[in-house]
Homo-oligomer: A and B are copies of this chain.
Amino acid sequence: MADEVKLFRTWSSPFALRIVWALKLKGVEFETILEDLANKSSLLLENNPVHKKVPVLVHNGRSVCESFVILEYIDETWTNGHPLFSKDPYEKAEARFWAKFGDEMLWLSVRGILLGNEAEQEEAKVQASEHLKYLEEQLGGNKYFGGEAIGFLDLAVGWMANLVSVLEEITGHGLIEELNFPLLWKWMQDFSDAPVIKESWPPRDKLVVKFRTMRDLYLAGKI
């Protein structure tokens, strides 16, 4: 029986994009179901009753939720395709650790730059800079966080590769100048330009509008 793979996502969710990338890297055919979060489908609610969020992967009728959990599931299910992890347990642990760091620490500081007032933005920028420094070190001399090929951590922090510049445009705050973080800067170019990644980015102009609107509403106390 052929696998039936469906992905519930939105056009802009950076968490869902991880799953698009992973499935494409693995060469898994899948159907995309685009959700409108203002009007969630009953199918989404049925498949993710706990969090009611995208992404949700439905594989042969069974749903998997939470983007990192889905990535691990994909890697363990389609074992013949592009591996998302090193075989070495220590390198796997490093990738998982920094992925979690990216979603918790870095995401929060970047969010602070997007949504903060001027003082909060300055503080968030100092934090983001500390967080990016860790990732710069983690990258070391490798092309990708995964080494010579894109891996779990690349997918986990891949949102940076376009959202940081969107953010810079909206807020006027520079974050990853070439001189500050030369390795991350290069990684952003290499990752963005990898074919599977490049073809999947949401339209940049729509992202700018979306995040600018979000910032305006947030600062006006409306969200």
Q: Which residue, of A65, A66, A92, A93, has the highest number of chain B Cβ atoms within 10 A?
A: A93
Bound-state Cα–Cα, A70 to B89, Å: 10
Bound-state Cα–Cα, A69 to B93, Å: 6
Contacts of A222 in B (CB 8 A): none
Are B66 and A97 in contact, CB atoms less than 8 angstroms apart? yes
Q: Tell me whether A73 is interfacial, beta carbon within 8 Å.
A: yes
Q: Tell me whether A220 is interfacial, beta carbon within 8 Å.
A: no
Q: Tell me whether A96 is interfacial, beta carbon within 8 Å.
A: yes
Q: Tell me whether A72 is interfacial, beta carbon within 8 Å.
A: yes
Please, what's the 1-or-0 string for A93-124, where 1 marks a CB less than 8 Å from any CB in chain B? 10011001100010000000000000000000
Please, what's the 1-or-0 string for A35-72, where 1 marks a CB less than 8 Å from any CB in chain B? 00000000000000010000000010010111011101
Chain B nearest CB, measured from A196 CB (Å): 22
